Amino acid sequence: MRGSKMKIGLSTYSFYWHSLSNDFNFQNIFTLLEETNRYGIHLFQICDYVPLESYTDNELEQIAVKAEELNIELEVGTKGIEKNRLEKFLYICEKLNSKTLRTMLNSADFVPTIEEAIVLLQEVMPMYEEKGITIALETYEQRKTADLVHIAETVSSSNLGICLDPANCIANLEYPNEVLLLAAPFIKNLHLKDFKFERKEGWVGFSLIGTPFGKGLLDTKHLVRTLRQHHVNTNAIVEFWLPFSNSIEETVSLEKQWIRESLDFIKENLIEQWRNYDEQFN
């Protein structure tokens, strides 16, 4: 909807090194929710967080209660579209009051063809539609964005779409702006992740590495313009590719710095660009 605000969130990927330093223990999720609240953010995506799959009903309810106490909306993320996985995560989403499940086509054990993906998703989407939960298929280097779009078009469910992460697709030689234009009509979730290329030592090749959001090569003005032109109003989650830096303590400290710098850029630039576009075309 024109005039609506983009809701910004953090993710377990925003706090990867923090979680690693805590061995991904159960209390870690509560710490991350409290940290998210300290940043003034009220959206948190528990994404590819393996321990989540083994939590009891009581533990899931504790997380939901904590999030509600902090006025934090939860989203859930996994990898794979096997029927048993999607049924399990539908249940987890319900327990956590999540209206979005971000997933990827491939899992460690199953790489579906396009035809298999369509059949599987056609089978499970009625369950997700009944519960009012959306599945967002993430753009990434293992699958062509055009294939994800074709799947979404063919399944044709209002509760199935794309989780746009333009940075992921570079490794599959897909240009971020082209990925954005292709996926725009189907976007149900958004990952804000920035990047740059850096020469390796001795000038032998390049590394694709992360940056705080707004400090890399992602064209944020084009991102906002395209989203608004397509009337996209979805939650946007900050993620990082943060390399390890000397020690876990130093890396966790840098991670906190990246969060603050990214949120500052988003508030001062991305949201302002969003508002300016609305004022210009409304």
pLDDT of 2 higher than 50: no
pLDDT of 208 higher than 60: yes
Contact 44, 72 (CB under 8 A): yes
Q: pLDDT at position 21, please?
A: 86
Q: pLDDT at position 233, please?
A: 87
Q: pLDDT at position 279, please?
A: 57
Which segment of 4-8, 9-13, 168-172, 237-241 scores lowest on mean pLDDT? 4-8
pLDDT tens-digit profile of 123-181?
999 999 999 999 999 999 999 999 999 999 999 999 999 999 999 999 999 999 999 99
Mean pLDDT calculated for residue range 13-28: 89
Q: Full-prediction pTM beyond 0.85?
A: yes
Q: pLDDT at position 195, please?
A: 96
pLDDT tens-digit profile of 96-117?
999 999 999 999 999 999 999 9
Q: What is the 3-state secondary structure (H, E, C) of the chain?
A: CCCCCCCEEEECCCCHHHHHHCCCCHHHHHHHHHHHHHCCCCEEEEECCHHHHHCCHHHHHHHHHHHHHCCCEEEEECCCCCHHHHHHHHHHHHHCCCCEEEECCCCCCCCCCHHHHHHHHHHHHHHHHHHCCEEEEECECCECHHHHHHHHHHHCCCCEEEEECHHHHHHHCCCHHHHHHHHHHHEEEEEECEEEEEECHHHCCEEEEEECCCCCCCCHHHHHHHHHHCCCCCCEEECCCCCCCCCHHHHHHHHHHHHHHHHHHHHHHHHHHHHHHHHHHC
pLDDT tens-digit profile of 75-85?
999 999 999 99
| CA triple 134-116-85, angle to 5 deg | 50
pLDDT of 6 higher than 90: no
Q: pLDDT at position 3, please?
A: 41
Q: Please, what is the average pLDDT of the chain?
A: 93
pLDDT of 201 higher than 60: yes
Q: pLDDT at position 204, please?
A: 86
Q: What is the dihedral of CA 241, 245, 251, 257, to 10 degrees?
A: -70
Q: pLDDT at position 75, please?
A: 98
Domains of the chain: 8-281 (3.20.20.150)
pLDDT of 260 higher than 60: yes
